């Protein structure tokens, strides 16, 4: 194992060659696209499945069939479809985020107490008003927690995907450093960067939980 000063020296070596920022930006780029695309598709679909029983009956078997398949099992297919590059990694991150967010949205809707939905309907709320005044404030706190957990999953998967499907990023840095003369100072430096960036991403997501508009609860109404 390299010494702490050796790891610092490895980081300095990456900076001097202009690779540190390049690899960090590459990993964040892939995580951002995969995570955002999954959220855009999974959350509305999950809310729909949770809200409409027929949608649940139609999609639930397929979801439960695909959900246990590890995203990493899709690596050969991702490379076959998209080749070695960003699209393969983004696809794998998308898969790793899609099903957790989908299930979070479904469960968030199902956990709304029926008395609040019935009360909204009894007061004559339109479907749009019911969604805005009951569904939205009820599910947002749970969705924020789900997004925070899923972002951590995405950050884990991007490292694994970059070890195989791309030629840049922090995951690639670790494998390349090991293969290029056993540069374990760079291996540990990559691990340190992954941990630090993961911590910063988690802090950023936790800050959303403190936003007043996202902290609605039934007791406040």
Q: What is the mean pLDDT of the chain?
A: 82
Asked if residues 149 and 21 have their Cβ atoms less than 8 Å apart, the reply is: no
CB atoms within 10 A of CB 132: 12
Q: At what angle do helices 170-179 and 20-51 cross, to 10 degrees?
A: 130
Q: How far is CA 67 from CA 19, 173, 179, in A?
A: 36, 30, 34
For the stretch 146-195, pLDDT in tens is: 898 999 889 888 888 887 767 788 888 888 877 776 778 888 888 888 88
Task: Name every residue whose Cβ is closer than 8 Å to that of residue 1 and which is 6 or more positions away in sequence.
Answer: 184, 188
Instruction: Point out the least confidently predicted range of 85-99, 189-203, 207-221.
Output: 207-221
pLDDT of residue 219: 44
Asked if residues 183 and 9 have their Cβ atoms less than 8 Å apart, the reply is: no
Residue 13 C-alpha from the chain's centroid: 31
For the stretch 8-51, pLDDT in tens is: 887 888 788 777 888 899 899 999 999 999 999 999 998 888 87
Q: How far is CA 173 from CA 25, 106, 190, 194, in A?
A: 13, 38, 7, 11
Domain ranges of the chain: 32-168
What is the b/e burial string over 26-51, where b = at least 16 CB atoms within 10 angstroms of the residue's CB? Answer: bbbbbbebbbebbbeebbebbbebbb
As a CATH number, domain 32-168 is: 1.10.3720.10
pLDDT of residue 218: 44
pLDDT of residue 220: 45
Confidence label for 216 from pLDDT (cuts 50, 70 and 90): low
Rounded Cα gap, residues 19 and 173, in angstroms: 9
Asked if residues 148 and 207 have their Cβ atoms less than 8 Å apart, the reply is: no
Q: In this prediction, what percent of the chain has a pLDDT beyond 90?
A: 14
């Amino acid at each position: 194992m390299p010494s702490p000063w050796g790891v610092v020296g490895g980081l300095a070596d990456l900076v001097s060659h202009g690779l540190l920022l390049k690899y960090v930006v590459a990993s964040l780029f892939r995580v951002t696209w995969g995570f955002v695309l999954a959220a855009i598709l999974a959350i509305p679909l999950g809310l729909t499945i949770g809200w409409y029983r027929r949608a649940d009956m139609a999609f639930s078997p397929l979801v439960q069939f695909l959900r246990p398949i590890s995203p990493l099992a899709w690596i050969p297919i991702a490379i076959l479809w998209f080749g070695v590059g960003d699209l393969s990694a983004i696809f794998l991150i998308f898969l790793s985020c899609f099903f957790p967010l989908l299930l979070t949205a479904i469960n968030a809707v199902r956990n709304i107490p029926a008395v609040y939905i019935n009360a909204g309907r009894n007061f004559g709320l339109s479907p749009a008003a019911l969604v805005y005044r009951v569904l939205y404030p009820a599910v947002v706190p749970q969705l924020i927690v789900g997004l925070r957990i899923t972002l951590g999953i995405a950050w884990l998967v991007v490292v694994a995907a970059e070890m195989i499907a791309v030629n840049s990023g922090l995951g690639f840095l670790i494998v390349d450093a090991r293969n290029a003369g056993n540069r374990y100072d760079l291996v540990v430096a990559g691990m340190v960067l992954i941990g630090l960036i993961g911590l910063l991403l988690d802090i950023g997501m936790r800050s959303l939980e403190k936003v007043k508009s996202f902290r609605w609860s039934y007791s406040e109404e």
